[in-house]
Amino acid sequence: MKYYIIAGEASGDLHASNMMKALKVADKNAEFRFWGGDLMQSVGGTLVKHYKELSFMGFLEVLKNLPTIFGNVKFCKEDIAAYQPDVLIFIDYSGFNLRIAKWAKEKGFKTNYYISPQVWASRAKRVLDIKRDINHMYVILPFEKEFYKKYDYDVHFVGHPLIDAIANRKIVEEAAFRKQYKLSEKPIVALLPGSRKQEITKMLTVMLSLVAEFKDYQFVIAGAPSQDFAFYQTFIQDQNISFVNNQTYDLLSISTAALVTSGTATLETALFKVPQVVCYKGSAISYQIAKRIITLKFISLVNLIMDKEVVKELIQNDFTKENLKTELTKILDSDNQKAMLSTYKELEQKLGGAGASSKVAKLILKNNQA
């Protein structure tokens, strides 16, 4: 079958690439055309647009780039119509994908959504649009199936693809990794400041202010694949700060603690069993708008899945040097680490175990065969 896939972010590129590999096993005649990134391209098929061209963060940033966004929507519809896929697969990236899904369903295309929009966090009425426009939804968080059931919409829980992504990666040899990046023998505090320039700027400035306070540790920045080293270089002014580009998993595998910008990275850090502090700060206007539409008790996936505070969240005005220093000191304490790591094990069990990519590929094939 011919598959048209739309992933608009680095995490979507990762999960879509693993799904594509599984689809090639399940469907020997699989052909791919997609919006995504390097990982999807490595599987094979035609890359239409790279996600680096699509990333706009925050309400103001989106408003400023509306002409580009509408242009991309128009082009995407034309490209799908020209390709005439047997199956359309949307990967997260809801603002864009739900617009395309409405048009696609009206045109008679088979619509599938892998990694649900976070309708449980805000604007829950979008479920009605999803029911109308999506033939099959495949969710990765355990509470999502029950959420959708309240709206009389049956979805497939396939487990979380991060478990596979982490289990299947090539194991790094710590000594070689430290040598490659000229890291000392000091224990590592990993800094995961996000993937977009606006959030990296806000996050990294405060994170790096702690370097002089923790001289027995080495701070290492995890560079995002969407950004060049030259951008990070403007923040690195201390000899005790190192940089690792696009090797976050290898870095987490040898880290003692981490300071993490809210998002998928919080869950990745937990699955690597690394104690963490979750951080987030947006523009004042974006934060005030978000506060009015987001109805959750927590912002990190770890706390949301466990339905309790497992990791400390420092949000907006709470994200200060003083608070970050206090919380980092806490998670470096061995007793606090033990408690957090114990809960991480429960978290992994709740996520449904390995095999998400294979499960979703088989379901997509089964649900869309004529």
Query: Within this chain, do residues 148 and 175 fall inside the same structural domain, yes or no?
Result: no
pLDDT score recorded for residue 226: 76
Find where tokens 């994908």 sit.
Answer: 97
Query: Within this chain, do residues 259 and 303 fall inside the same structural domain, yes or no?
Result: yes
The type of residue at 235 is: F
- DSSP annotation of 318: G
Residue 167 CA to residue 172 CA, distance in Å, equals 12
pLDDT score recorded for residue 280: 87
Query: Within this chain, do residues 28 and 108 fall inside the same structural domain, yes or no?
Result: yes
pLDDT score recorded for residue 284: 52
pLDDT score recorded for residue 47: 97
Residue 370 CA to residue 368 CA, distance in Å, equals 6
Bridging pattern class, strands 276-280 and 312-315: parallel
Query: Within this chain, do residues 44 and 184 fall inside the same structural domain, yes or no?
Result: no
Residue 315 CA to residue 240 CA, distance in Å, equals 26
pLDDT score recorded for residue 233: 87
Per-residue pLDDT 10s for the chain (370 aa) are 999 999 998 889 999 999 999 999 999 999 999 999 999 999 999 999 999 877 655 555 556 666 677 788 999 999 999 999 999 999 999 989 999 999 999 999 999 999 999 888 777 889 999 999 999 999 999 999 999 999 999 999 999 999 988 988 888 899 999 999 999 999 999 999 988 888 898 899 999 999 999 999 999 999 987 788 889 988 887 667 899 998 999 999 999 999 999 888 999 999 999 999 999 886 555 544 444 445 567 889 999 999 999 999 999 889 999 999 999 999 999 998 999 999 999 999 899 888 999 999 999 999 998 6
Find where tokens 């949000």 sit.
Answer: 315
Domain total of the chain: 2
Residue 235 CA to residue 70 CA, distance in Å, equals 34
The type of residue at 355 is: G
Query: Within this chain, do residues 231 and 280 fall inside the same structural domain, yes or no?
Result: yes
pLDDT score recorded for residue 289: 45
* Residue 101 domain boundaries: 2-159+355-368
Query: Within this chain, do residues 362 and 338 fall inside the same structural domain, yes or no?
Result: no
Query: Within this chain, do residues 146 and 40 fall inside the same structural domain, yes or no?
Result: yes
Query: Within this chain, do residues 329 and 202 fall inside the same structural domain, yes or no?
Result: yes
Query: Within this chain, do residues 123 and 189 fall inside the same structural domain, yes or no?
Result: no
Query: Within this chain, do residues 136 and 248 fall inside the same structural domain, yes or no?
Result: no
Residue in 351, 262, 270, 256 with CA at minimum distance from that of residue 310: 270
pLDDT score recorded for residue 294: 53
Q: Which two tokens stand for residue 57?
A: 């963060």
- What is the DSSP track for 91-137? ES-HHHHHHHHHHHHHTT--EEEES---TTTB-TTHHHHHHHH-SEE
Query: Within this chain, do residues 242 and 114 fall inside the same structural domain, yes or no?
Result: no
pLDDT score recorded for residue 165: 87
Q: Which two tokens stand for residue 320?
A: 């200060």
Query: Within this chain, do residues 183 and 252 fall inside the same structural domain, yes or no?
Result: yes
Global pTM reads: 0.81
pLDDT score recorded for residue 195: 83
- CATH value at residue 36: 3.40.50.2000
CB distance 303 to 339 below 8 Å: no
